[in-house]
Amino acid sequence: MTAAQSSERPTVVITTAGSAATPGTIIHLRRLGYRVIATDIDATAPGLYLADECHLVPPGSSPEFVPELRGICAKENAVALIPLVDEELLAASELALEGLHVLLPRTEFIATCLDKYVLMRRLAEVGLPVPRTALAAEWAGSPEAPVVVKPRSGRGSRGVSVCASAEELGGLLTETGYATEDLIVQECVPGQEFTVSVVVWRDGEVQAVVPKEVVLKRGVTKFAVTRRNRRVDEVCRAVQEELQADGPFNVQLSLDADGEPRIFEINPRFSSTAPLTVAAGVDEIAGLLGQAVADGPRLRDEWREGVVMVRRWADEFIDEEKFSAYGISPAGSGPARECEAPVIAQAAR
């Protein structure tokens, strides 16, 4: 089926088909009537096989990424783009200037959030609660154990360490391989961690705030439960008021000893826990997509507390012909050959 033949179905491009949440999002949007095009840098990304069409793309840091993505969106007659990985966000946002609906916050907000040191300083400047944070090169005195050490930029738990003593911190800073100006040291907030979906679009009005208490986290959140918390709600709304994201974002915070939320990161995109937000009653991705492309209705801040997400592997079954068309050999242990975009861009029949 070509893009022209699918004109009655709005086409959406979703990146990062290998992410934990992306396959479910692809299936969900297809059930709602969208034609979904998936992209990834890896031909083994599961979501590629669940979309209507798919393409391999260069990494988001590559100068070839934007031209390739622009070409895919044009070829597939896409009306919207949903980037889901940090490395691609600023580059993908360029396409919004060309008339494509890109479901991201404003560029300034993205840039601020992607530099964790800049973000912490900006939040503190406007009076929002954050942990004590400094560049590793600036950290003074013996820290109260424990402290968190992590790269200024990065996602998941990559490069994140917890140090229990000043000696351990000193050893880590010596061995890490990062320049000290590229690492931040952050006070470790001991209380319960939350990951919070903040649903907002270009009018700047917050449509919903859905806090999810993290039960188990291994790189990405594995188990979580929707949980109402008045102060978490207030603090997350204040982020939009002060920083004007005007697009979807996810706040990561922990409660201190007094129960006060303290923000330690913000993801300027949909969270990997967005499926839990949907299950609780706020369809943030489809809702904002509908508003962007079809002047759809605002979402209501009505959701169920106590909904638990249990993240798991799921088996999918497709024809061998389709599988092989994407560049994977069932007889081998990996890609049959180096896959380039022309190889993987086959129709999902």
φ, ψ (nearest 5 deg) of residue 24: -65, -35
The CATH label, of 3.30.160, 2.70.170, 3.40.50, 3.30.1490, for the domain at 132-187 is 3.30.1490
Query: CATH number of the domain at 109-113+190-310, please?
Result: 3.30.470.20
User: Residues near 8 by Cβ (< 8 Å), separated by ≥ 6?
Assistant: none
The predicted model gives 187-211 an average pLDDT of 96
Q: 132 pLDDT exceeds 70?
A: yes
Q: Please state, for a pLDDT cut of 70, what percent of the chain lies above it.
A: 86
Whether the pLDDT of residue 175 is over 80: the answer is no
Task: Read off the pLDDT of residues 225-249 as tens digits, 9 standing for 90 and up.
Answer: 999 999 999 999 999 999 999 999 9
Sheet holding 53-56, edge to edge: 53-56, 35-40, 11-14, 80-82, 101-102
> Residue 171: what pLDDT?
72
Residue 341: pLDDT over 50: no
Parse the chain into domains and list their residue ranges: 11-102+317-344, 109-113+190-310, 132-187
pLDDT of residue 39: 96
pLDDT at 85: 95
User: What confidence tier does 6 reach under pLDDT thresholds 50, 70, 90?
Assistant: very low
Considering the entire predicted model, what is its pTM? Answer: 0.88
pLDDT at 332 over 70: no
- Residue 2 clears pLDDT 50, i.e. is over it: no
11-102+317-344, which class in CATH?
alpha beta
Q: 197-215 burial, b if ≥16 CB within 10 A, otherwise e?
A: bbbbbeeeebbbbbbbbbe
